A = this chain, B = another copy of it.
């Protein structure tokens, strides 16, 4: 079963989509199986991170921003703006697709795990996510 989700973003950062994913699994009627979540862009990515203390996500974003700064003299690909090349690199360092087992009609996330879309561009975007669900 294929589902499509579109998320609006308003600048760089982590956008939680755990609830959307839980509802998709519930609506599918699948009790046990696996789902694959993939973002259809090269300047946004996916990650599973702590969904409790927001400072953990803040530090994560800040750390990546320092590791992959804008306006690095190394970049030749600058025509799409100073945030574009860092976006591609951050996408390569994190995940474009995630596979998550389904157990008891829910994604088998740990207690503190949330699923996030990671927007790496500064301007607002509509981000397309395609999800495959499979099981019984």
Contacts and interface: CB of A to CB of B under 8 A. Distances in A.
Taken together, the copies of this chain in the complex come to 3
Nearest to A112: B42
Interface residues on A, range: 35 or more
Contacts of A49: 42, 88, 91-92
A128 B77 CA distance: 31
Q: Is the interface of A mostly helix, strand, loop or mixed?
A: mixed
Interface in A1-17: 1-2
A85 B53 CA distance: 11
Interface string A34-66: 101011111000011110010110111011101
Given A56-B88, A85-B59, A100-B97, A130 B108 contact: yes
A109 interface: yes
